[in-house]
Amino acid sequence: MSLPHLRILHPDPLPIGPRLARGWRISVYEAAGAEARLGRRSAPVDALLAAARVRQGAFIGAWNPMSRAMPRGWNDRALARLRRVARMPVLEGTGHAARPPWAEEHLLMLGDPRRIAMLARRFRQHAILRVRLRAPSRLLVLR
């Protein structure tokens, strides 16, 4: 399994199966009309970062912790809690792929990815997609 631009931040990560790895590879993350893809630079995301006067941020979700499907109401409440505890600029967003069809609501948090990673762990997420000004996006695997 080859994932470009992958960094594992957990000393003993959970197994990443081929379906999850492929899902990360083919997903598109979008906020405010700007799209990001794993391992690619995005001029529209650069523009969002520059407008917010930050150098980096990350796409983060709260839906389906540890990739276990949860009811829509549960997911919406979890994302609302994440918004409340963010303490940094947040843009509404989504993560989605066409085949297999997949979509989740996400947030693009603008600020220090270490804080974002801490929140992702708290909300039991596998990974975040870090974006940096004038750099390709990078997947940070947390568990």
What are the tens digits of pLDDT across the range 36-58? 999 999 999 999 999 999 999 99
Contact between residue 57 and residue 131 where contact means Cβ atoms under 8 Å apart: yes
How large is the average pLDDT for residues 11-21? 64
- Name the β-bridge partners of 44: none
Distance separating alpha carbons of residues 70 and 25, to the nearest angstrom: 23
Crossing angle, helix 72-85 and helix 113-122, to 10 degrees?
140
Distance separating alpha carbons of residues 89 and 16, to the nearest angstrom: 30
Banded model confidence at residue 135, pLDDT cuts 50, 70, 90: very high
Contact between residue 59 and residue 117 where contact means Cβ atoms under 8 Å apart: no
